Amino acid sequence: MARQKVNVDWPLVTAALILSLYGIAIVYSAGQTDIPIAGYIRNAWKQQLIWFLLGLGGAYAMSRASIRMLEWMAIPMYAFTTLLLVLLPFIGKGAGTAASVKSWLVIGGVRLGQPSELAKLTVVLMLGKILASSKDPPKSFVDLWKPALVVGVPWLLIMAQPDLGTGIVFVGIFFAMLFWSGISWRLLLLLASPVVSLILTVSTKLWGAWFLLLLALVIWYKPYLWEGVFLVAANVVMGVLAPILWERLEPYQQNRLRVFLDPSVDPRRSGYHVIQSQVAIGSGGWFGKGYTQGTQKRLAFLPEQHTDFIFSVLGEELGFLGVVVALMLFLTLFLRIIKISERANDSFSSLVAFGLLASWFVHVIVNVSMTLNLMPITGIPLPFFSYGGSFMLASWLAVGILVRVAHEGRGGKHGPFAI
Amino acid sequence: MSFHPNDVARRSRAAAWMSAGLIVFLVGAFFRTQILRNQQWVLQSEENRLREVPIAAPRGMIFDRKGKIIAENVVGYTVSVLAQSEDSLRSTLKRLSGTIQLTPPQQEQAVRRYRRAPTRPTAILNDASFDVVSVLEEHRVDFPSLIIMSAPKRFYPDGPAVLPFVGFVNEINETELSQPQFSGYKAGQIIGKQGLEKEYESVLHGREGSRFVEVDARGRIVREQGAQEKKPAQAGSLQTNIDLDLQLYMANVFADSLVGGAVAMDPNNGEVLALYSNPSYDPNKFIGGVSVAYYDSLRNNPKRPLYNKALQGLYPPGSTWKLATAVMGLEEGVATMDTHMPQACNGYYYFGNRAWHCWEKGGHGSLDLTGAIAKSCDVYFYQLGLKLGLSRLVAGGVQLGFAGKAGIDLPEEMKPRFPDKLQYFDEKYGPRNWSGGSMAMNISIGQGDNSQSILNMARFYTALATDGTAAKPEIVRRRPERTKLMTLTPKQLDDLRQAMAGVTQAGGTAASAALSGGVTLAGKTGTAQVYALTASKQCDHAWFVGFAPVEKPRIVVAVMLECGGHGYLAARVASAIIGKYLGVPTMLNIQTEG
């Protein structure tokens, strides 16, 4: 293959670059405390910088690979990651605060990374391939069996680790890519209904109202009879299953949900994180306490300041202004990827681009919402910010793929948020 | 998939609006938290990291009448811990006890202090020595939640000599904290526990200052002075009427051998010049917490140093009370100074089929009132008492102030025991005809149901020393308050004083206590036979209440020696004190001859 110049989508790459540097700066600050902390946190920014540079190299390599090659690679890569996830319970290791979650691949004592990060990429590729292969979007539940299987297998393996946070990301990818494939929104809604049912079992009244709404939808949408029956049955089963699932949750997961509903139920322990995160962010005000000067972080009131709660450090030290800058950068990135998906040359690359967007989008929304207690603590990292090598590398590999998709796609300026 | 450009554009718009919508929602959420609710979170963040460390205010100084220091403040050190929980406090205490000496009771006390005020630093040592402080400073790194502060420490330069009126300070306890007068106080603060320190707490208590230390999530101190320091304010000082020289002399006169108390007052205005109880103890040892050993040694001392004999001690006044009987006799016109009683004294008086003895077994012969006072003749006063009757004696005693407190500005003063009305006897011993009986005879010589404090006897004699007006005893300088006790003419009062002058003259009961230099000491001895708690046996309390110079008295002194024997011994002590004050030596060495 002759060397050919790749047209780099600079708005995308610039946003990702600024986010990464911004993130490394905050990881540096996370290591600046008044009390002795683990050396690896103090030096995390150096590690992060190395992984960032590795990621840049990876992104360059990815951008050189043609989309067709990625499509061809999708099946073996998917098979490989699935195999890794299957083997993980036997060869995996826990890490840090989540020592019981065997999500790390360790060979010869060296932690290579989390296969679930790789799985996000390969599932996007595989799902893109499946959805792109049929001429029409799925029309009924029967048509959904293949996409559901592609996502369902790694999802179940990851939920079994148990890694609830990453599991949510997979659900997000699944729904987003179905949406992008042109599936009817009513089918999407019906598909989502059991999940909604599950969440709404918190209150019997809410669940009852939802169930009536669902019946109306089923009657209006007129699916196949057995589909309708299955759907209604699934919702009922979810309502019944919820308490049983609740019992099955680990105590720390139950606590996280309880604390989400009311952090003051356990202010010293489970509620502590989310309260201290809000204190950190809230006390930041307009301009923050100054870079590296956050007292909540310096004095160790803020937990996991270099990973899950890195955005709280940003909010405390750089204030509302810093928060808005970061969120706007993310929004820029998202809109640019939507544009790339829209202009992609073929349905596979368009679906892949949109799937990658979905992955980041879920990460950002869930992680940032968690710092303000808008969502329960699920422990999923913030792309480009949270300290973590494999996630940084995976993110930049995704940037590489997106550059390639953009390169092969159509140029031009149209659409809602043209940049 | 449906890949028609129009469909894609529509979905793209939907996706873009959804992303923008959620991000804008998050921006709104951050705006609410960071801008609208900023104050609340800033407060909580400050509460997280800052701990208020109170800075004790120096207490007000206490001066004597010439500006000499009675109570002051010196530099002391306190050691406290900022504990997160009782468990962390206990573990810190355990580790501390490996570095410095920390007894189990001290540790338990620290835990109790923590329970009382968990948000304030818990004091471990309220008065740490410089050595302990240096050791701790060396090990600073090992104890990151330790606060070592220099704090003003109460000091009484003359310790035991001034204790009986000045009292001492100590940490406020739980009971006190719940009392309304301590509503503004916090656990761990120092308050007056006795004497002037307690009485004038509101004057002497300074305004506590504070500073802040910054702590991490585990309560370890990261840096001092996280915010502006609030300086403590010293309280106003207290100007007293005490003559410190006289007070020290008084304490010295008692020395180790005598047990009892003494009060010296200026009869003209009620100023208390000196007030002492012996044996005394060192109030400085109570600052920062008294050691169990010292406290036990005080509590187990048979001479009861913890008991203030000048204020709390109630003793039968004995013959010193005969002046009250005499005053009543003069007021009623039952007797004049020249009146002789029907029966001369031959050592006893027959009444109710029983011989009532005079202390002088040989008898005094026939005496007038002047002679009866000088010689303290019991037989004379038995007859005078019978003439007055019990009813008059009780009413007169109440009128002369023997049923109420003298009203000194010290919290320890005990109310004397004296029948406030005739029914008292009916209630106590059962109803019978009390008037004119043996009870009247007992009362008239200062026995019977009559126990007076040394202070109250001094107060009564201020009336005798002046125009019949008693001065309210005051330790702290203020406008004198005087009460007319008796309606005697100046001549009658003068005659009484001359009669009392006879006490220290040849033939008087306290002839050996006379003053030199032409100054005449007037007064009255008393010897009260009691079962004394301090000696656990039958013994005689020695009394003397007197004043000088007799022409224009400037000082009244009341002295009572527990089991001190005859009253003349007390008179010698009083004479020495008065002599010191007036600048005239006494005739004799005051140390008793056995």
Interchain pair A285, B35: CB under 8 A: yes
Q: What is the pLDDT of residue A412?
A: 46
B158 vs B130: which has the higher pLDDT = B158
Q: What is the pLDDT of residue A362?
A: 94
Contact predicate B177/B189, CB 8 Å: no
Alpha helices in B243-368 (DSSP H): 244-254, 292-299, 322-332
User: Under DSSP, is residue B273 helix (H, G, I), strand (E, B) or coil?
Assistant: strand
Contact predicate B411/B195, CB 8 Å: yes
Q: What is the ipTM of this complex?
A: 0.89
Contact predicate B546/B503, CB 8 Å: yes
pLDDT band at A411, cuts 50/70/90? low
Indicate the range of A24-38, B45-59, B212-226, B231-245 predicted with least confidence: B212-226
pLDDT band at A268, cuts 50/70/90? low
**Sign of the four-CA dihedral B372, B373, B377, B381:** positive
Provide mean pLDDT across the span B319-336: 91
CATH 3.90.1310.10 fits B51-239, yes or no: yes
- Beta-carbon neighbour count of residue B236 at 10 Å? 12
**Residue A385 token pair:** 């910010």
Q: What is the pLDDT of residue B247?
A: 95
* Candidates A281, A283, A417; nearest CB to B16: A417
Q: What residues of chain A lie within 8 A of the CB of B40, using their CB?
A: 282
Interchain pair A300, B218: CB under 8 A: yes
pLDDT band at B185, cuts 50/70/90? confident
pLDDT tens digits, residue range A209-254? 888 887 887 777 666 667 777 777 777 777 777 777 777 777 777 7
pLDDT band at B536, cuts 50/70/90? low
> Which of the listed ranges A208-212, A325-329, B42-46, B484-488 does the model predict with the highest average pLDDT?
A325-329
Q: What is the pLDDT of residue B236?
A: 87
A141 vs B252: which has the higher pLDDT = B252
pLDDT tens digits, residue range A84-109? 888 887 776 665 555 556 667 766 55
Provide mean pLDDT across the span B169-197: 88
pLDDT band at B228, cuts 50/70/90? low
**Sign of the four-CA dihedral A277, A282, A283, A287:** positive
pLDDT band at B594, cuts 50/70/90? very low
Q: What is the mean pLDDT of chain B?
A: 87
Q: What's the per-residue H, E or C state across B477-501?
A: CCCCCEEECCCCCHHHHHHHHHHHH
**Residues sharing a CB contact under 8 Å with residue A35, sequence separation 6 or more, in sequence order:** A298, A299, A300, B216, B220, B222
Provide mean pLDDT across the span B192-203: 92
Whole-angstrom CA distances from A118 to A395, B79, B181, B249 are 10, 57, 71, 95
Q: Which residues of B touch A (CB under 8 A)?
A: 1-3, 7-9, 11-13, 15-17, 19-20, 22-23, 26-27, 29-31, 33-35, 37-38, 40-42, 44-45, 48-49, 214-218, 220, 222-223
Interchain pair A136, B34: CB under 8 A: no
Find which of A283, A297, A351 to mutate to test the B interface (most B CBs within 10 Å of its CB).
A283
Provide mean pLDDT across the span B38-48: 89
Q: What's the per-residue H, E or C state across B58-102?
A: CCCCEECCCCCEEEEEEEEEEEEECCCCHHHHHHHHHHHCCCCCC
Please give the full DSSP string across B252-266, using - where no structure is assigned.
Answer: HHHTTT--EEEEEE-
Place of tokens 């913030």: A382
Cα(B490)–Cα(B166) distance, rounded to whole angstroms? 37
**Residue B436 token pair:** 């004119």
Place of tokens 């070592």: B148
Indicate the range of A166-175, A354-363, B115-124, B458-467 predicted with least confidence: B115-124
Cα(B246)–Cα(B359) distance, rounded to whole angstroms? 34
pLDDT band at B589, cuts 50/70/90? low
Residue B139, Ramachandran bin (φ over 0: left; ψ between -120 and 50: alpha; else beta): alpha
Q: What is the mean pLDDT of chain A?
A: 83
Q: Which is nearest to A291 in space by CA: A29, A49, A37, A35?
A: A29
Cα(B318)–Cα(B564) distance, rounded to whole angstroms? 13
Q: Which is nearest to A149 in space by CA: B517, A392, A214, A141?
A: A141
The answer, yes or no, to whether residue B182 has pLDDT greater than 50, is: yes
Q: What residues of chain A lie within 8 A of the CB of B27, using their CB?
A: 323-324, 327
Interchain pair A415, B9: CB under 8 A: yes
Q: Which helix (H) or strand (E) holds B396?
A: helix B390-399
Q: Which is nearest to B511 in space by CA: B446, B566, B433, B581?
A: B566
Q: What residues of chain A lie within 8 A of the CB of B88, using their CB?
A: none
- A135 min Cα distance to partner chain B (Å): 5
Burial classification of residue A373, based on how many CB atoms lie within 10 Å of its CB (0-12 exposed, 13-18 middle, 19 or more buried): buried
Q: What is the pLDDT of residue A265?
A: 63
Residue B518, Ramachandran bin (φ over 0: left; ψ between -120 and 50: alpha; else beta): left
Beta strands in B402-554 (DSSP E): 469-471, 482-484, 522-532, 537-548
Interchain pair B217, A350: CB under 8 A: no
pLDDT band at B271, cuts 50/70/90? very high
The answer, yes or no, to whether residue B546 has pLDDT greater than 90, is: yes
pTM over 0.80, yes/no: no
Interchain pair A299, B37: CB under 8 A: no
pLDDT tens digits, residue range B414-428? 999 998 887 788 787
The answer, yes or no, to whether residue B148 has pLDDT greater than 90, is: no
Cα(A384)–Cα(A314) distance, rounded to whole angstroms? 13
Cα(B90)–Cα(A391) distance, rounded to whole angstroms? 44
Provide mean pLDDT across the span B480-503: 90
- B82 min Cα distance to partner chain A (Å): 15
Q: What is the pLDDT of residue A107?
A: 62
Cα(A415)–Cα(A183) distance, rounded to whole angstroms? 21
B283 vs A307: which has the higher pLDDT = B283
Scanning every residue of chain B, which has its alpha carbon at the shortest distance from the alpha carbon of A182?
A: B2
**Residue B374 token pair:** 């000088």
User: Under DSSP, is residue B365 helix (H, G, I), strand (E, B) or coil?
Assistant: strand
Find which of A276, A299, A340, A347 to mutate to test the B interface (most B CBs within 10 Å of its CB).
A299
**Residue B364 token pair:** 């005094």
pLDDT tens digits, residue range A21-75? 999 999 999 888 888 777 788 888 999 999 999 999 999 999 988 889 989 999 9
Cα(B452)–Cα(A170) distance, rounded to whole angstroms? 94
Q: What residues of chain A lie within 8 A of the CB of B223, using their CB?
A: 34
In chain B, domain spans: 51-239, 246-293+302-582
The answer, yes or no, to whether residue A417 has pLDDT greater than 70, is: no
The answer, yes or no, to whether residue A188 has pLDDT greater than 70, is: yes
Place of tokens 């706007």: A328
Contact predicate B339/B464, CB 8 Å: no
Q: What is the pLDDT of residue B290?
A: 83
**Residues sharing a CB contact under 8 Å with residue A146, sequence separation 6 or more, in sequence order:** A130
Cα(B184)–Cα(B191) distance, rounded to whole angstroms? 12
The answer, yes or no, to whether residue B591 has pLDDT greater than 50, is: no
pLDDT band at A323, cuts 50/70/90? very high
Contact predicate B538/B566, CB 8 Å: no
Find which of B25, B27, B33 to mutate to test the A interface (most A CBs within 10 Å of its CB).
B33
pLDDT tens digits, residue range B97-117? 888 888 888 888 888 888 888
**Residue A314 token pair:** 């940003």
- B226 min Cα distance to partner chain A (Å): 11
Q: What is the pLDDT of residue A413?
A: 43
The answer, yes or no, to whether residue B62 has pLDDT greater than 80, is: yes
**Residue B5 token pair:** 């450009």
* Candidates B34, B49, B223; nearest CB to A315: B34
pLDDT band at B232, cuts 50/70/90? confident
Q: Which is nearest to B559 in space by CA: B164, B216, B261?
A: B261
The answer, yes or no, to whether residue B341 has pLDDT greater than 50, is: yes
* Candidates B2, B16, B216; nearest CB to A300: B216
pLDDT band at B587, cuts 50/70/90? low
Provide mean pLDDT across the span A312-325: 95
pLDDT tens digits, residue range A106-118? 665 556 677 888 8
pLDDT band at A302, cuts 50/70/90? confident
Q: What is the pLDDT of residue A418?
A: 36
Interchain pair B1, A300: CB under 8 A: no
Scanning every residue of chain B, which has its alpha carbon at the shortest distance from the alpha carbon of A364?
A: B23
Indicate the range of A157-161, B10-14, B55-59, B320-324 predicted with least confidence: A157-161
Q: What is the pLDDT of residue B535?
A: 55
Q: What residues of chain B lie within 8 A of the CB of A370, using their CB?
A: none
Contact predicate B119/B188, CB 8 Å: no
Indicate the range of A155-164, B154-163, B337-346, B455-464 predicted with least confidence: A155-164
Give CB contacts under 8 A, 24+ apart, made by B97-100.
B99/B135, B99/B136, B99/B139, B99/B142, B99/B143, B100/B132, B100/B135, B100/B136
Provide mean pLDDT across the span B450-471: 93
User: What are residue B263's DSSP bridge partners?
Assistant: B275, B558
Q: What is the pLDDT of residue B162?
A: 95
Interchain pair A278, B41: CB under 8 A: yes
The answer, yes or no, to whether residue B374 has pLDDT greater than 60, is: yes
Interchain pair A283, B44: CB under 8 A: yes
Whether cis (ω within 30° of 0) applies to the bond prior to B279 is yes
Q: Which is nearest to B30 in space by CA: A312, A17, A297?
A: A312
Interchain pair B33, A372: CB under 8 A: yes
Scanning every residue of chain B, which has its alpha carbon at the shortest distance from the alpha carbon of A318?
A: B34
Q: What's the per-residue H, E or C state across chain A?
A: CCCCCCCCCHHHHHHHHHHHHHHHHHHHHHCCCCCCCCHHHHCHHHHHHHHHHHHHHHHHHHHHCCHHHHHHHHHHHHHHHHHHHHHHHHHEECECCECCCCCEEEECCEEEECHHHHHHHHHHHHHHHHHHHCCCCCCCCHHHHHHHHHHHHHHHHHHCCCCHHHHHHHHHHHHHHHHHCCCCHHHHHHHHHHHHHHHHCCCHHHHHHHHHHHHHHHHHHCCCHHHHHHHHHHHHHHHHHHHHHHHHCCHHHHHHHHHHHCHHHCCCCHHHHHHHHHHHHHCCCCCCCCCCCCHHHHCCCCCCCCCCCHHHHHHHHHHHHHHHHHHHHHHHHHHHHHHHHHHCCCHHHHHHHHHHHHHHHHHHHHHHHHHCCCCCCCCCCCCCCCCCHHHHHHHHHHHHHHHHHHHHCCCCCCCCCCC
The answer, yes or no, to whether residue B555 has pLDDT greater than 90, is: yes
Indicate the range of A360-374, B156-170, B530-544 predicted with least confidence: B530-544
B145 vs A29: which has the higher pLDDT = A29
Pick the CATH number of B246-293+302-582 from 3.30.2130.30, 3.40.710.10, 3.40.50.300, 3.10.129.10: 3.40.710.10
Provide mean pLDDT across the span B267-280: 93
